[in-house]
Amino acid sequence: MTREDAPKTKPCFTPIGIIRTPYKDWAPYQPVERDPGREIFRLVLSHEFAGGLRDLDRFEYVYVLHFLDRVETTPSMTVSPPWAKGTTVGLFATRSPVRPNPIGLSVVRILRIKENEVITSPLDVFDETPLLDLKPYFKTLDAKADANDGWVEDLEDRTHLLEHLRGIPHHHEH
């Protein structure tokens, strides 16, 4: 084994809670930003971790890391995102849930914290998805003003496709 081989150890994690969403059998590709007006998206931490939520409500956004436990497909190194009309790209150039390590990452708005629960803007995960970690989204570290949308910017129908990427419901003309 050379030094540049992947390590052989298999890190194992223990969920710190579960995510409650209305999605039982279907989930959007990415979070829908519109607030449904009810407290239905909740990060429910095990009580032993509730103390760790202190001061998190001073942030506008939080990173939610979760275990994509419903994914059973074997990952392919190339992907054709369902909304990208036949475009094929490398897996690590997508946010596809079918990955070698099924760790999901969502950025959502923090609405309120109640004891061991964080009420958030809509999340793109199935109900009862295991929660692995929460990290505060710092404007200084994470809001990259000069970011881009990668290969999606090269597509003809870019504006429309970015609505799909964001999970925004919209009208299709036929």
Task: Find the binding residues for a second copy in span 10-49 (CB under 8 A).
Answer: 10-18, 20, 30, 44-46, 49
Binder of a second copy out of 32, 71, 103, 111 (CB under 8 A): 103
Phi, psi of 142 (to 5 degrees): -115, -20
What is the gyration radius of the CA atoms in the chain, in angstroms?
18
Question: How many angstroms separate the Cα of 171 from the Cα of each of 46, 83, 122, 163, 174?
Answer: 41, 14, 20, 11, 10
**Cβ proximity to a second copy, 119 vs 152, nearer residue:** 152
Rounded Cα gap, residues 77 and 99, in angstroms: 9
Binder of a second copy out of 63, 80, 83, 160 (CB under 8 A): 63
**Cβ proximity to a second copy, 111 vs 132, nearer residue:** 132
CA 163 to chain centre: 16
Write the interaction track for a second copy spanning residues 64-93; mark x where CB under 8 A is met and - where it is not: -x-x-x-------xx----------xxxxx
Asked if 1 interacts with a second copy (CB under 8 A), we say no
DSSP 164: H
Cβ 49 to a second copy shortest distance, Å: 7
Total residues interacting with a second copy, rule: CB under 8 A: 82
Binder of a second copy out of 95, 98, 111, 160 (CB under 8 A): 95
Rounded Cα gap, residues 67 and 54, in angstroms: 24
Please check whether residue 18 is in contact with residue 130, taking contact to mean a CB–CB distance below 8 angstroms: yes
Rounded Cα gap, residues 86 and 68, in angstroms: 25
Write the interaction track for a second copy spanning residues 114-153; mark x where CB under 8 A is met and - where it is not: --------------x-xxxxxxxxxxxxxxxxxxxxxxxx
**Cβ proximity to a second copy, 43 vs 174, nearer residue:** 43
**Cβ proximity to a second copy, 159 vs 174, nearer residue:** 159
